[in-house]
Amino acid sequence: MLNSRYAPVIALAVLGIVLVAVLGWFLAIKPQFDERDSLKSQTATIRGNIDQVNMASAKIDEYAAQLQGDDSVAKEIALNAPSELDLPAFRARLWKAFNDTKIELVSYSQGGETLLPPLEVDPSALVASQVAALFQTGPVSAASSVVPDPAATAAATGTDGAADPTAVVGTDGWAPAVTAPTESTLASAQVFKVPFTLVVAGSPQETYDFLAFMSDPDQPVFEVEAITQTARPSGSGTIPGVSDAKDGDVSTTITGSLFVYNPTLELHDQELGKGAKTPGESAFHKPPNSPAQPGA
């Protein structure tokens, strides 16, 4: 009788306990588990980002060490495109080439300088792009529940609160401190070339040796742009100051240029109007039975 009389009450009490337990799970306990899982996920993300920051920092240190220790580019520019054109040194170099190769000079002339078009470099080829790429990942994932940084958010908006279209902002309010360049960069400007025209006479081997001498990588670059050769068989017309032609000889016109970078616009040629000074025998030595070359 008692069982039958109180059975509904007991059943309702048990049902109430079950409902309270279920509601307690969903309202109190499950959110704690969810928050724990979220914290675990954020912890893993942060640890991964710490590793990424450490690797990026090491990479930056590597770039800095390379930039500080590698001065080869500056040395190459100073050698091959100085700010001043040393004409006496270039003439001395030519005269040594004439002496060593036994080729003979017919004429020498210098043209006016020409400004070269600037060299454009694709942004992907710049080290700056590689460095900027290290900063494109935020400190936390966009899916996390971290509150946006007010400073980063303010930096990404204008003074009127409107979004700045040029700012790169993640969905969590984070903006990278460095962005990669997107447009081509001018790697060189104010580079001038100064053309020279040389006419030389001699055998093909002497001509080859002369060009090889002028291609010495330890000397300022002399860029040969055009070569024109004319045969000088035995008995061909004489050239004042040049030995008589032999079968197989050639007359070669060489057009080439020296380069100047960010010139000072000052010409330092202290030997203008003076006799050429060369060590030892002059390159313009008097060939047998021939008048002396002009300027010797």
Indicate whether 110 and 220 sit together in one domain.
yes
Residue 268 lies in a domain: no
pLDDT of residue 180: 76
- Let me know whether 196 and 219 are in one domain: yes
Q: Compute the half-sphere exposure of residue 74: CA atoms within 13 Å on the CB side of its CA.
A: 5
Single pTM value for the model: 0.55
In a domain, 205, yes or no: yes
Query: In terms of domains, do 227 and 254 share one?
Result: yes
The pLDDT value recorded for residue 286 is 54
- Clarify whether residues 92 and 206 are in a common domain: yes
Per the structure, the count of domains in the chain is 3
Q: Are residues 107 and 224 in the same domain?
A: yes
C-alpha dihedral, 18 to 21 to 25 to 26, nearest 10°: 60
Domain end call among 164, 187, 210:
187
Within-domain flag for 16: yes
In order, the DSSP letters of 107-175 are EEEE---EEPPPEEE-GGGSHHHHHHHTTSS-SS-TTS-PPPPHHHHHHTB-TTSPBPTT----TTS--
The owner of tokens 């450490």 is 54
Nearest to 104 by CA among 210, 257, 189: 210
- Which of 287, 276, 277, 278 has its CA nearest to residue 202? 287
Written as tens digits, the pLDDT of the chain (296 aa) is 445 666 666 666 667 777 766 666 666 666 776 777 777 777 787 787 777 778 777 777 777 777 676 677 788 888 888 888 889 999 999 999 999 999 999 999 999 989 988 878 787 777 777 777 777 765 554 444 444 444 444 444 344 444 343 444 444 556 776 777 777 777 777 889 999 999 999 999 999 999 999 999 999 999 999 999 999 998 888 888 898 888 999 999 999 999 998 887 555 555 555 544 544 454 455 555 555 554 44
CA distance 212 to 101: 10
17 and 163 both lie in a single domain: no
**Residue 102, domain extent:** 79-118+189-261
Q: In this structure, are 197 and 247 located in the same domain? A: yes
- Predicted local confidence at residue 162, as pLDDT: 40
CATH for 110: 3.30.70.60
The token pair at 106 is 């017919």
Domain finish residue from 187, 217, 244? 187
Regarding whether 207 and 105 lie in a shared domain, the answer is: yes
Q: What are phi and psi of 188, to 5 degrees?
A: -150, 135
Residue 172 within any structural domain of the chain? yes
Q: Tokens 């990424």 sit at which residue?
A: 52
Q: Report how far residue 170's alpha carbon sits from residue 163's, in angstroms, rounded to the nearest whole number.
A: 13
**How many Å apart are CA 80 and CA 259, to the nearest integer?**
7
Q: Write down the pLDDT at residue 153.
A: 41
Are 101 and 213 in contact, with CB atoms under 8 Å apart?
yes
Same domain, 57 and 9: yes
The DSSP bridge partners found for residue 249 are 232
Residue 275 counted as domain residue: no
Indicate whether 278 belongs to any domain. no
In angstroms, the first-to-last Cα distance of the chain is 143
The pLDDT score that the predictor gives to residue 155 is: 43
User: What does the alpha-carbon distance between residue 111 and residue 269 come to, in Å, rounded to a whole number?
Assistant: 15
Check residue 62 and give its pLDDT. 79
Say if residue 6 is in the same domain as residue 57: yes
User: What would the two tokens of residue 29 be?
Assistant: 């306990």
State the pLDDT at residue 171: 43
pLDDT, residue 197, reads 96
- Residue 135 is assigned to a structural domain of this protein: yes
Residue in the structure block whose two tokens are 């307690």: 24
Q: How far is CA 190 from the centre of its chain?
A: 16
* One domain for residues 243 and 142: no
Q: In 156-176, which positions are buried (b, 16+ CB within 10 angstroms) versus exposed (e)? A: beeeeeeeeeeeebbebbbbb
Contact 286, 296 (CB under 8 A): yes
Q: Which of 140, 161, 187 is the last residue of a domain?
A: 187
CA–CA gap between residue 112 and residue 134 (Å, rounded): 47
| H runs (alpha helix) in the chain | 2-24, 30-69, 72-80, 87-101, 127-133, 150-155, 204-214
- Looking at the domain assignment, is residue 277 inside a domain? no
Q: Clarify whether residues 195 and 226 are in a common domain.
A: yes
Task: State the pLDDT at residue 168.
Answer: 46
